[in-house]
Every structure is written in structure tokens, then in C-alpha cells.
Structure 1
Amino acid sequence: MNIRTETPPCAVHPLAVVDEGAAVGEGTRIWHFSHVYGGAVIGAHCSLGQNVMVASGVTIGDHCKIQNNVSLYEGVVLEEYVFCGPSMVFTNVRTPRCLHPRNTSADYAPTRVKRGASIGANATVVCGVTLHEGAFVAAGAVVTRDVPPYAMVAGVPARVVGHMCERGERLRFDAAGLARTSYGQAYRRRADGIVRKEEA
């Protein structure tokens, strides 16, 4: 493995490419055939699997895990602790055309994935949406609208099928709108979404 000497240090496989002008945080690992463009920002202690593309203008927070065959296009922002499953897809143009290309920053619809969200294998996230904190997208789902905090979505198009805590346990709410995990964390259902109880 080729250890880059820039500050902070990160580990880049010899068959990966990190362009000049990219910022990669300490402890991040970038594996075979991946390409990080100049102008991309990747936080500390992330893992990028094989054949990952990170375009200019993408921001990836600390402790994210991006599995094989994922492309992150300009306008995508991942906050901390985001998981992107193998071969999931982000888009960045709502109505792509070859005859009349839309290839400037003004043409792109931004996508934000908030802290602790997970996106399953082969899911598609259509641009212009926000996946809120702790959201969980099932494998193969197609996300066309915002996903609420701690919501589990599945299907085509993706719809809410339940709720999940930050550790991956399904949340089951009582009549008072409270759910408690096996490790004692409580969540509350409110009109504006699901919150951890200490935030309520």
C-alpha cells in the first residue's frame, strides 16, 4: 500500500488516483481503482472501497464507509458516519440529456445525507433530496423525496415502512409515542419526526 505523505496522512492503494487539490483526512483508506478528483473533501477515518469515484465539489464527513462501485457526483454531501452500500447510485441532474447537456454547477440538484444514515446495496438516490439523521434506505430502493429522521424506506419509489434507531434496531412506539431500544435508548415520535428522547 502506498502511504501518502501529505498532512494529515492517509492510505491510498497504488492503483487508486487522488488528484492534486483533493483534501483527504487522517486515517482514511482509499482502495483499488478509486478516483478522488481535485476539489473533493473527504474527512478522517473513512473507507472508500474499490472503484469509488468522488467528484470535485463533493464533501464526505468523518467516519464514512463507501462500499465498492459507488460514484459521488458534484452536489453530494455526506455528513459523519454515513454508510453507502455496494453499487448504490447518486444522481445529480434531474433531467439529463445528451443533445442539450446539463453540465454546470447551476444545473445540479444538491443531495445531503445526514449523520448516521445508511443506504443499502443497489439503492438509487435521485438528486435534490435530504436523507435525515439515522435514515435507513433498503437495498434496491429508489429515493425520490426526503427521508425523515430514523425512518426506514423501501420500494420503488421508496416509502416509509418503519423506523430504526442509530444502532439498527427497529423502533416500536407505544400509545404515548415512545420507543425504547434493547440498550435503553428512548426515542419519541413528534409531529415533526422522530427524535432521541434527550432531544425531545
Structure 2
Amino acid sequence: MVRNHQTAEIEEGAEVGEGTVVWQHAHIRAGAQVGQECIIGRGVYVGPGVRIGNRCKIQNYALVYEPAVVEDGAFIGPAVVFTNDLNPRAVNPDGTLKSSDDWLAVGVSVGTGASIGARAVCVAPVRIGAWATVAAGAVVVKDVPDYALMAGVPARQIGWVGEAGHRLKEDVRNGSGATWLCPVTGRRYVETDGRLWRADS
């Protein structure tokens, strides 16, 4: 069962999965796909052709413009913005109003389990890696590795996070790599040449 607030606008042709909750004044456009057991907060905009996986949380007033792809279990914080135009203009050089045929939409993709903090801006085209965390207020202008912790304007990597969302602590360093430890779960991660993965994967 989908639970929609009476003020939410879900256009004909939008797909919303079982168990998803859509709150006040959210707008889901025709052609958008929202998975199962998601929470779509107050005032969220989901553009046509956007694909959102299962068990995602998209918090109040986030703007998810097409053709964004959000994988399972991702968290999009309040007032986050995904752009979709590298060269935005309201009009063409001849002064005519731009239409959807006058530009090529480029998207943001968000990996499984990733989190994007409040008021962050992701400038398309860009990918946020699986289980990465983007700090509140950051401006992401380049791809983010899996498990990376990003902050600042423009965003830069300041560490690693585990699947529990906590910053990892360096355990052992050796040459171009290291092992990292989650202080909450005790799970170990392996870093090699700027990439991180779970030690048991």
C-alpha cells in the first residue's frame, strides 16, 4: 500500500512502489519511478524519468531533477539539489525561450547506501559512490569514490566512512594502501590506490 498525503501530487504515469510514503506537497512527475518502502518528504520534487530504488529516504524540499538515478538505501537530506544542465540559460542566443529540445539533460547518480547531507548541491554529471557520505552544504563537482567522506566547496575527500555511516579509523598502513576499522561494527575495510572495499567482500 502506498500512503500519500492528500496534498501530494503524483502525476499519471509515475510509478510508486508498495510501502512508500509521500508527504505533503511532494511532486512526483510522470515517468518517474520510485521504489518500495521509500519516504518522500514534504515538498520534494522528483523529475520525469528519475529512478529511485527501494528503501530510500528523500528529505523535505530536496530537488531531484531528471535524469537522476538513486540506488537502494540512499539518503538524500533536506533541501539537497541535483542539477541537470551544465550550461544553464533561460533563453537561446537569439533571445527565444529555451525548451526541452534546446538542451541535453545530464544526471546525478547515487550509489547504494550513500548519504547526501542537508543543502548539498550535486552538479551533474556526477556519481556519488556506494556508501559514500557527502557533508551538509558541500558542492560536489566530480565523481565520489565508494565509501568516501566528502566536505567543502568544492567538495574534497576528507576520509572514509563504513556502511554504518561512521568515519573509519586507520588500522594499518602499508605503502600505497591501508586497512581501516569501523568504530561501531568492528568491520575492516581495505584501501588500495585510492579505492576502498570491505575486507570480507
CA contact (8 A) 1:96 1:102 kept: no
Structural RMSD (CA): 1.4
Structure 2 counterpart of 1:82, one-letter code = A
What is the distance in 2 between the residues matched to 1:61 and 1:76? 11
What is the distance in 1 between the residues matched to 2:47 and 2:88? 17
Which residue of structure 2 lines up, in the alignment, with residue 195 of structure 1?
A: 197
Correspondences of 1:1-200 after superposition (within 5 Å): 9-100=1-92, 101=98, 103-104=100-101, 107-173=104-170, 174-176=172-174, 177-182=178-183, 183-191=185-193, 193-199=195-201
Cα distance, 1:191 vs. partner? 2.0
CA contact (8 A) 1:74 1:105 kept: no
Residues 30-51 of structure 1 deviation map (CA, whole Å, 9 limit, x = unaligned) = 0000111110000000001100
User: Which ranges of structure 1 fall in alignment gaps of 5 or more residues?
Assistant: 1-8
The 3 A distance-change label for structure 1 pair 179 and 106 is same
Residues 83-131 of structure 1 deviation map (CA, whole Å, 9 limit, x = unaligned) = 0111111100011001123634960112110001000001000010000
Residues 1-32 of structure 1 deviation map (CA, whole Å, 9 limit, x = unaligned) = xxxxxxxx211000101111111101000000
What is the distance in 2 between the residues matched to 1:29 and 1:104? 33
Query: Helix, strand or coil: the match of 1:198?
Result: coil
Query: Helix, strand or coil: the match of 1:107?
Result: coil
The 3 A distance-change label for structure 1 pair 119 and 105 is farther
CA contact (8 A) 1:59 1:78 kept: yes
The 3 A distance-change label for structure 1 pair 43 and 73 is same
The 3 A distance-change label for structure 1 pair 41 and 105 is farther
Q: Give the number of aligned pairs.
A: 191
User: Which ranges of structure 2 fall in alignment gaps of 5 or more residues?
Assistant: 93-97
TM-score relative to the length of structure 1: 0.91
What is the distance in 1 between the residues matched to 2:9 and 2:139? 30
What is the distance in 2 between the residues matched to 1:122 and 1:92? 16
What is the distance in 1 between the residues matched to 2:103 and 2:73? 28
What is the distance in 2 between the residues matched to 1:117 and 1:143? 14
Runs of 4+ in structure 1 deviating by more than 6 angstroms, as ranges, are none
Residues 139-174 of structure 1 deviation map (CA, whole Å, 9 limit, x = unaligned) = 000000000111011110000011110112211222
Query: Helix, strand or coil: the match of 2:169?
Result: coil
What is the distance in 2 between the residues matched to 1:117 and 1:33? 25
CA contact (8 A) 1:93 1:102 kept: no
TM-score relative to the length of structure 2: 0.91
